[in-house]
Each structure stands twice: as structure tokens, then as C-alpha cells.
Copies of this chain bind each other. A is one copy, B any other.
Amino acid sequence: MSTPDSIAQSARRAAGEVSTLPTERKNSVLIDLADTIDREQGRVLTANHADLDAARTTGLADAKIRRLTLTPTVLRQIVDGLRQVAALPDPVGQVCSDRQVPSGLRVQRVRIPLGVILMIYEARPNVTIDAFGLCFKAGNACILKGGREAGRSNATLIELIHEVLQRHGVSPAVAALVTSSDRDEMRALLQLHQLIDLVIPRGGLELVRFVHEHSRIPIVQHFMGVCHIFVDDSADLERAIELCATAKTSAPAACNAMEAVLVHQAVAQQFVPRLVERLTREGVEIRGDPLVCKLAPAATPALPEDWGREFLDLICAIRVVSDVEAAIEHIQRHGSNHTEAILSNNKEHQRLFQERIQSSCVMVNASTRFNDGFQLGLGAEIGISTSKIHAYGPMGLDELTTQRFVVTGDYQSR
């Protein structure tokens, strides 16, 4: 039996191997894995069906069933994702700065992998491949702890990963799957700070809290996305309606979906009824402050806890605020440092909002839904960090590495 300690020991050894693997060999592994998943689709889908049958028997919630489900389309996305990661530049060895200092030394900052990354996530088998692909390309070993309900799917996927690694002469220990859902085992893993360099929890509040409470390993956490849009009095209201509506409806359960709209009082009368009409027409339930409920009777009164709430559903809160300052104050109190947007044609208000709102991503006249590694040009993402340390916002390949100093001299002493 593999213990948490023996898994982490093997990963640590494998990390040394993958850290210096040439780019072409890493890319060949990723492309071969894409081809293999393509070819072995049947095997993956059979395992996934077994997981789904079991999940339905135990009455797993619909939203969770959806995330657990693999289809040929989802597999196609996974495979495309791997090919995209193979095509991205290798961050390892990248020279980020290079200068001569007065002592005559040449000082370079060079990217190196982090080492061993522990990824803890829910029953979403696509994350198994996505996380492996990114960690591997950035030269790291990974320990993948996926949700129990995806056990058979993940076991099949890791089998494919190991087959491919072996075919390329790379130690299978660069990707370990932890299948047990034993909390004691997870706690034991989270103590191994001398073997594991980073833990990335990706999932619900309870999961992130558990990791945060028990980890002695550094964490980059993806907490809640309580995203706000402020509609200023100078906004283009026609386009603001379209933008606000889709920011909720295009993916209501996504972390970058809008949860609340703050409307400048000067345009409330004009804007609120039309926004509520549009949203309710698309099946969105509105929780409004007293003025919103007066202007748009379709809205129901918001409860105090509806401000700062991640609805993860077709529900949206709307409040009228006196000005940009009041909007900033509301967000500072209720936001989650994920994504906030201002819709405004007033440069001074844009500047104030950008400066005072310190979320991982501030959008000026763009939807919160653009806070995503692909959309922002990182090429891929392993998650969106809402803590400021190490990475803030979408984490791509660079954020799975660190920079160290390489100094070259001519026998200088000091």
C-alpha cells in the first residue's frame, strides 16, 4: 500500500527528473497523451459511466453529476487543451532579467519549476488531465487528489498518463493519483511540507477551508468569486444591459459570473427596469434593495446575506448606489477579491475604481467573464488565485514556476 509519505517521496524524486527534461520530450509526452486519450476514448467513457451510475444511485446533486460527466465533446476539449499546452513556450530556463552589477557580476533571474504540486479538487475528471498537463509542462511532479465520485474515471486517466510516460522513458511517479477519500490521509499529505512545495485547492468553500486549516504546505487558493459590476452614470446603458445580462447567464455557476450589479442613482430609473426585464426574461431571479424593488416589481427584496453571496445559479442581486465611491465601499465590504468591473465613460471614475479596488482583476468596460487564463492571454490556467501571495488572478505556466538567481563572476570575493 502507498502511504502519503511514500507517494510524496516518490514524487519528490521524480520532480528532480522532470525539472531538467528537455522541452521537446515534454511536448512529445503531452501530444502522445492527447492521441492516446483520443484512441482510448471508449475505455475512459466506460469508466466514467460506472462512476455516473454509482453517483446516481447515491443521489449526487445534478450540478455535481454534470461536472462528473465525460462525453466525446468534453474529451475533445481535454485533448485540445493538452495540444495547446504542448504548443506554449516552456517557462523552465526562461531568463527573466539579466544585468551586470557594479562588482562585475552578471546577475540573471531564471525560471525553475516549483517541484512537487499537490492539486486537490472535486469530482471533475477533466481537471486530472488539465492539471497534469500544466504541472508537467512547467517541469513539476504532481500529486492529484480528485473527488471520490470520479474514482474510476481518474484511475483510467492516470493509467493512460502512466502508459504514455513509460513509453517515453519518464518515471510514472511524476503524476500520482490519490484515490482514497480518507480525511486522515489528506491531513497527512498536507503535513509534508518538506516534500511538497505547493498545494492548490480548487473547489467549494468547504474544501478550500479544510485545506487552509490543515496545511503546513504553502497554498495558492481559489476561493469564492463574488463578482460585481458597477454601472456608472456615464455608462453606455444600451451596451451595459447586454454586458450585465450575459455576465450572469452565459455560465451562472462560473467563478467569474457576475453576482451583483451596483447602479449609479442618476441612471437607476432608466436602467434598473430594463435590466430586470432582460434578466427575468432569461430566467434570472432578482434580489433587489428597496429602490430596485420599487422600480422593478419583478424583483424580490434582498436579504442582508445576499450582498457578498456567490449564488452559483441564475440569481442576481441589484443595488442602487449614490456614486462611484459608494460602489467602491460596497465592493470593499462584500467582494471576494476575484473580479470587479466598472462600466463608465468617465476617465476619473475609471481611475478611482481601478486604484481603490484591489481585486485580482479589474475590468473597465468589459465583462467579469473575461477573467480566465485563456481570455487574458496566458494560454491556459490551472485556477484563479484570490490570495495575493505568489500569484493573484489566473495562474498559467509561469505561475507554476519560481525565479531564482544565477550569478556568474570571475572569482570575486567579498
Binding site for B on A (CB under 8 A): 16, 19-20, 99, 101, 103, 105, 107, 112, 114-115, 193, 197-198, 212-213, 216, 218-220, 236, 239-240, 242-243, 246-247, 250, 332, 343, 354-356, 358-367, 369-371, 375-377, 387-390, 392-394, 402-414
Evaluate whether A218 and B218 lie within 8 angstroms (CB atoms) in the complex, with A367-B414, A376-B407, A390-B390 already known: yes
**Which residues on the B side are within 8 Å of A354 (C-beta)?**
406
Output the nearest chain B residue to A235 by Cβ-Cβ distance: B411
Q: Is the interface of A mostly helix, strand, loop or mixed?
A: mixed
Instruction: With A101-B376, A411-B240 as known contacts, state yes or no: A404 contacts B360, CB within 8 Å.
Output: yes
Cα(A299)–Cα(B139), bound, Å? 42
Cα A405 to Cα B396 in complex, Å, equals 13
**With A and B bound together, what is the CA distance between A219 and B376 in angstroms?**
28
Kindly state the separation between the CA atoms of A166 and B330 in the bound complex, as whole angstroms: 29
Complexed CA–CA distance, A274 and B46 (Å): 71
**Please, which residues of chain B bring their CB within 8 A of the CB of A246?**
413-414
| B236→A411 contact, CB < 8 A | yes
Contact A358 B19 (CB under 8 A): yes
Once the chains bind, are B409 and A358 in contact (CB under 8 Å)?
no
Cα A388 to Cα B19 in complex, Å, equals 14
User: In the complex, what's the smallest C-beta–C-beta distance from A196 to chain B, in angstroms?
Assistant: 11
Contact of A405 (CB < 8 Å), options: B216, B243, B376, B389: B376
Residues from chain B with a CB closer than 8 A to the CB of A387 are 197, 218
Cβ contact within 8 Å between A411 and B343:
yes
A403–B392 contact, CB under 8 A?
Answer: yes
The interface residues of chain B lying within 8 Å CB-to-CB of A388 are 112, 114-115, 197-198, 402
Contact B411 A365 (CB under 8 A): yes
Residue among A388, A403, A406 having the largest count of chain B Cβ atoms under 10 Å: A388
Q: Establish whether residues B115 and A409, one from each chain, have CB atoms under 8 Å apart when the complex forms.
A: no
Contact between chains at A107 and B390 (CB < 8 Å): no
Asked if B20 and A413 make an inter-chain contact with CB atoms under 8 angstroms apart, the answer reads no
List B contacts of A390 (CB < 8 A): 218, 389-390
**A193 contact set on B, CB distance < 8 A:** 212
Q: Assess whether B413 is in contact with A243, with CB atoms less than 8 Å apart.
A: yes
14 A-B pairs with CB atoms under 8 Å apart are: A20-B356, A105-B370, A105-B375, A107-B376, A218-B389, A218-B390, A246-B413, A361-B404, A361-B406, A365-B411, A366-B412, A367-B412, A370-B409, A388-B402
Q: Which residue of B lies closest to A198 (CB)?
A: B389
Among A198, A213, A250, A392, the most chain B Cβ lie within 10 Å of the Cβ of A392
A407 touches B364 (CB 8 A): yes
- The reply to whether A411 and B362 contact each other, CB–CB distance below 8 Å, is no
Chain B residue with the shortest CB-CB distance to A352: B20
